[in-house]
Chains A and B, each alone.
Chain A
Amino acid sequence: MESNSLTYELTINSATHVVTDAWIGESLLYVLRERLGLPGAKNACEQGECGSCSVLMDGDLVCSCLVLAASASDAMITTVEGIATHDPLTDERGLSSVQQAFVDEGAVQCGFCTPGLIVAVHDLLEQSPRPSELEIREAISGNLCRCTGYGRIFAAVDAAIEARSQGAST
């Protein structure tokens, strides 16, 4: 689209990305997925209702579908792709304790809500390392899941809390 386009930079998972000649109306979700090759954030509703597009912006949990990408140029953005642990010696990416717990506890079925939940649960456990059941339910109540009925997701959160209390770093 030729009209209302501009070029700007985004800082995502500690790396700088240049967005070139993009329509100003594009959401952060669209730019991540369609321009920058970071499709981890998902597009279940694009109305801020489902949480599948959750990312961290300057440490705040946001729906990337509701953020204009161009307005995020000064923010530090973390997506699900930046959640995995990184070994600087081998350059290998491993699973965070939250990701491992989701796999182990059966919290993943179709997996479409999973990236958003991973980001949301990380955010929760950073803010509150030992949340109550109600805190957990409230923290993920903005992330819709249609497959699991949430039971295994709660189990995964509990397992991640336990792993982190045993010393897991993320």
Chain B
Amino acid sequence: MSTATATPTSTARDHAIGTSAPRPDGIPKVKGEFVFSSDLWAEGMLWAHIVRSPHPSARIVSVDLSAAYKIEGVRAIISQDDVPGKKIFGLEHPDQPVFADGVVRFFGEAICAIAADHPETARRAGEAIVVVYDVLEPLVDPELAITADPIHPDGNVFRHLVIRHGDQSAVGEVQVEGTYEVGMQDQAFMGPESGLAIPDADGQGVELYVSTQWLHSDLWQTAACLGLPDEKVRLTLSGVGGAFGGREDVSMHIYLSLLALRTGRPVKIVYSRLESFLGHVHRHPARMWFRHHATRDGRIVKVEARIVLDGGAYASTSSAVVTNAACFATGPYKVPSATIDGWAVRTNNPSCGAMRGFGAVQTCFGHESQMDKLADALGMDPIELRRINAMASGDTLITGQVVTGALPTREVIDALANHPLPTDTRTTDDMMARPGGAGRTADAAHVRRGVGFAVGWKNLMFADGFDDYSTAACSIDRGVVSIKCACAEVGQGFVTLVQQIVRTEFGIDDIIIEPADTTIGSAGSTSASRQTWMSGGAVKGACEAARTTLLKRLAIAHNVNIEALELVDGRVRSLDGSVDLSLAEATETPVRELLEFHHAPTFPLDEHGQGNAHVSFAVAAHRAVVDVDIDLGLLRVVEMATAQDVGRVLNPLQVLGQLEGGTAQGVGLAVMEEIILHGGKVRNASFTDYLIPTALDMPNVVIAGLIEQPEPGAPYGAKGVGEPPTISSTPAISSAVRVATGLGLPRVPIRPQDIVGC
């Protein structure tokens, strides 16, 4: 037997669950050595380019490839006729042709794809392709789409979700009503869509290296369109440059695979930023009407709402987004009666789908605007109105579901409300402290400060009866623990969590995280704030299973009772001292266990929108301090403070990063981010014209409280923390600007003309 000493455990303890363990990919990322999907390279590879429609609605009359084929270096051009398998794809409801099938339904829809020896050759070939279109009038109004002639065989309504809860005839002594609008936001992840496909030598399969949120969903959709069995298509996660929902759908996967199979050579693609804006789904624009009913002392009696989400040309996750928008439309408040109609509809606008917050962002802007309006009508402090209506564990959702887990809404509100406000810098000489900065002419006397408060929530994990699971394997070989899981690390830090779990479960620091690929079962999507719970749960469960297998084996080998054995700090010991082995000694014969982790089942909503459709919920609140130059309509967000229901903090630094980053995306939606459409055409598909917050725009984010009430059923009690910060940040800002200006501001993003044009 080896005489190896115990593995040092201090690092393992220092970087276990609950600590700010460093990212394992941090060092390669700061050195520029981390391999993103756009960094891939293969000997003899070709470059792909996609020809896209310049019209949002058209019939394709003819496509002439002859001039393109004459360009030296062009190896293949493919279109819908070259798709050997299923002709359509889609994340939840396949309804999108791989390439436009005689009809174009959105600006930027793929017409054909080219492989050539140089990206410039491929681009020029694209310009040489002559497509003749019969241009049609696009359907761009989502309200009209509900009753308009269908623009797709599946119709124009992705889902009409009806929620009827409580007493439908209930009427409040006080009523407030409002109509609200949210613009189309883009995920604007930094790493553009990109990937590399390598054909098998026999031409019967393909290796695909991509950045994605869900490898297996990509696999299933891609293999079906290629007409290949799943095992002939293998996906490996490449470095992902952010996602935020925009990589949940298939983008270039099928095109690259088809071109690789056609040419017999590796094929790479890297989208330009323009193409990225056209090539992925966005956050649904929303039009919403609300009427809140309350008693004179401020108790909500009933909420009525009508929500119309513009899903664009193809389904993506529209039906799930509108389900969320409707289910969470009344906020984390006790609402005994509700009448909600949510629509997600098809238009000739760009397709919309997942983005951080997933439907809850849009309705939070509505319900929080309404809460302010109700407080005003009641003559009540808006924070107090939220406090007295705050939902808690044991209360009932408007879907009839009773919350059984933690829901510390009031604790979140109180932590934030009690946090001190920043000092008022409006009258200082520091011009940079004013809206617009030193280059502007803000008159300090005309700068008004507003403070706004908003509370938001959403569900964690997939819902509505979806069988949501993750798979992980844990191997221990001579003391080294290897974890395999197809969970997509998109920047959130799942790889850090894996190491923290292994250190916590085994007390060792020799950890290998194997590549995320499709040689193991699905981990589900990196979305819905679900991976810490789901893939964290799968990894933890696999570790526990491996431990049990190992201890059983050692119990037999050493003739002791398994209950007498413990694995702590990297050593296996028996209570009587007869067994004392390092983990390396104990696993000279390796162990490996695979585990599939499912959360508690959910059920589809019934025809009245009632049912136990959700697993768990998380609440966050934001307080925004905003200075407004009422002459120029310029805003400066001075400070964002937040409190959040987190279950349990597993990594303080990573939680902080999620809260700051998520808040920033909400700031962007409040004051600058919107995809501008004109007749269905995207007019600002660049970072020159689609603005996201810079280091000069972002205020400090102050954490007023992390409310830790461990969530039953969640590994280590932790709730996902990624989405809640993006939900309430936007309405907190709009509320602050209303306070500063006295304007109604029913739409985000708030533009200068919304302030000075009134």
Measured in the bound complex, the distance between the Cα atoms of B343 and A69 in whole Å is 51
Across-interface contacts of A112 in B (CB, < 8 A): 36, 189-191, 241-242
Residue total for B at the interface (Cβ-Cβ under 8 A) = 66
Measured in the bound complex, the distance between the Cα atoms of B73 and A2 in whole Å is 9
Contact yes or no, B695 A103, CB < 8 A:
no
Contact yes or no, B687 A144, CB < 8 A:
yes
Contact yes or no, A148 B25, CB < 8 A:
no
Residue total for A at the interface (Cβ-Cβ under 8 A) = 64
> How close is A98's CB to chain B, nearest CB, in angstroms?
8
Contact yes or no, A106 B38, CB < 8 A:
no
Q: Quick one: closest B residue to A25, CB to CB?
A: B120
Interface 0/1 of B691-705, CB less than 8 Å to A = 011111010110000
Contact yes or no, A148 B657, CB < 8 A:
yes
Interface 0/1 of B96-118, CB less than 8 Å to A = 00000000000000000000011
Contact yes or no, B688 A47, CB < 8 A:
yes
Could you say which of B22, B190, B239, B653 has the most chain A C-beta atoms within 10 Å of its C-beta?
B190
Across-interface contacts of B23 in A (CB, < 8 A): 103, 108
Across-interface contacts of B694 in A (CB, < 8 A): 141-142, 144
Across-interface contacts of A25 in B (CB, < 8 A): 120
Across-interface contacts of B73 in A (CB, < 8 A): 1
Chain A contact surface mostly = loop
**Given A44-B192, A146-B244, A149-B660, A1–B118 Cβ distance below 8 Å?**
yes
Interface 0/1 of A33-58, CB less than 8 Å to B = 11001111111111101101000000
The one of B33, B667, B696 that contacts A141, using a Cβ cutoff of 8 Å: B696
Contact yes or no, A118 B30, CB < 8 A:
yes
**Given A45-B686, A110-B240, A152-B656, A103–B30 Cβ distance below 8 Å?**
yes
Within 8 A of B (CB), among A80-131: 80-81, 83-84, 93, 95, 99-100, 102-106, 108-115, 118
Measured in the bound complex, the distance between the Cα atoms of B116 and A1 in whole Å is 10
The one of B117, B272, B653 that contacts A46, using a Cβ cutoff of 8 Å: B272
Measured in the bound complex, the distance between the Cα atoms of B700 and A105 in whole Å is 15
Contact yes or no, A84 B189, CB < 8 A:
no
Measured in the bound complex, the distance between the Cα atoms of B695 and A143 in whole Å is 8
Q: Quick one: closest A residue to B430, CB to CB?
A: A134
**Given A95-B31, A112-B190, A150–B664 Cβ distance below 8 Å?**
yes
Within 8 A of A (CB), among B196-253: 239-244
> How close is A146's CB to chain B, nearest CB, in angstroms?
5
The one of B27, B188, B491 that contacts A110, using a Cβ cutoff of 8 Å: B491
Contact yes or no, B273 A109, CB < 8 A:
no
Measured in the bound complex, the distance between the Cα atoms of B33 and A33 in whole Å is 12
Contact yes or no, A111 B29, CB < 8 A:
yes
- B493 part of interface (Cβ distance < 8 Å): yes
Contact yes or no, A106 B30, CB < 8 A:
no
Contact yes or no, A108 B29, CB < 8 A:
yes
The one of B27, B36, B241, B660 that contacts A95, using a Cβ cutoff of 8 Å: B27
- B490 part of interface (Cβ distance < 8 Å): yes
Measured in the bound complex, the distance between the Cα atoms of B121 and A37 in whole Å is 21
- A64 part of interface (Cβ distance < 8 Å): no
Could you say which of B41, B117, B491, B493 has the most chain A C-beta atoms within 10 Å of its C-beta?
B491
Chain B contact surface mostly = loop
Across-interface contacts of B170 in A (CB, < 8 A): none
Contact yes or no, A47 B273, CB < 8 A:
yes
> How close is A41's CB to chain B, nearest CB, in angstroms?
7
Across-interface contacts of B36 in A (CB, < 8 A): 39, 42, 111-112
**Given A102-B30, A103-B26, A110-B241, A152–B695 Cβ distance below 8 Å?**
no
- A12 part of interface (Cβ distance < 8 Å): no
Across-interface contacts of B38 in A (CB, < 8 A): 33, 39, 42-43
Contact yes or no, B663 A111, CB < 8 A:
no
- B20 part of interface (Cβ distance < 8 Å): yes
The one of A26, A84, A99, A144 that contacts B190, using a Cβ cutoff of 8 Å: A144
Across-interface contacts of B239 in A (CB, < 8 A): 111
Measured in the bound complex, the distance between the Cα atoms of B697 and A140 in whole Å is 11
Measured in the bound complex, the distance between the Cα atoms of B120 and A52 in whole Å is 22
> How close is A64's CB to chain B, nearest CB, in angstroms?
12
Within 8 A of A (CB), among B463-506: 490-493
Contact yes or no, A151 B700, CB < 8 A:
yes
Interface 0/1 of B273-298, CB less than 8 Å to A = 10000000000000000000000000
Q: Quick one: closest B residue to A81, CB to CB?
A: B32
- A8 part of interface (Cβ distance < 8 Å): no
- A31 part of interface (Cβ distance < 8 Å): no
Could you say which of B20, B191, B240 has the most chain A C-beta atoms within 10 Å of its C-beta?
B191
Contact yes or no, A148 B660, CB < 8 A:
yes
Measured in the bound complex, the distance between the Cα atoms of B116 and A23 in whole Å is 14
Measured in the bound complex, the distance between the Cα atoms of B272 and A4 in whole Å is 23
The one of A38, A138, A151 that contacts B701, using a Cβ cutoff of 8 Å: A151
Across-interface contacts of A81 in B (CB, < 8 A): 31-33
- B381 part of interface (Cβ distance < 8 Å): no
**Given A44-B273, A147-B657, A115–B32 Cβ distance below 8 Å?**
yes
Across-interface contacts of A138 in B (CB, < 8 A): 695-696
Within 8 A of A (CB), among B51-80: 72-73
Contact yes or no, A109 B701, CB < 8 A:
no
Measured in the bound complex, the distance between the Cα atoms of B654 and A43 in whole Å is 25
> How close is B43's CB to chain A, nearest CB, in angstroms?
13
> How close is B513's CB to chain A, nearest CB, in angstroms?
16
- A77 part of interface (Cβ distance < 8 Å): no
- B661 part of interface (Cβ distance < 8 Å): yes
Contact yes or no, B190 A42, CB < 8 A:
yes
Measured in the bound complex, the distance between the Cα atoms of B490 and A105 in whole Å is 19
- A10 part of interface (Cβ distance < 8 Å): no
Across-interface contacts of B662 in A (CB, < 8 A): 149
Across-interface contacts of B376 in A (CB, < 8 A): none
The one of A30, A111, A145 that contacts B34, using a Cβ cutoff of 8 Å: A111
Q: List 12 A-B contacts (CB under 8 A).
A: A44-B241, A50-B190, A103-B22, A103-B23, A110-B189, A110-B490, A136-B695, A140-B695, A144-B687, A147-B190, A149-B662, A151-B656
10 further A-B contacts with Cβ under 8 Å, apart from A99-B30, A111-B29, A149-B661, are A43-B270, A106-B653, A109-B657, A110-B240, A114-B29, A115-B30, A145-B695, A146-B665, A150-B664, A152-B660
Q: Please report B residues at the A interface, Cβ cutoff 8 Å.
A: 20, 22-23, 25-27, 29-36, 38-39, 41, 72-73, 117-121, 187-192, 239-244, 270, 272-273, 432, 490-493, 653-654, 656-657, 660-665, 667, 686-688, 692-696, 698, 700-701
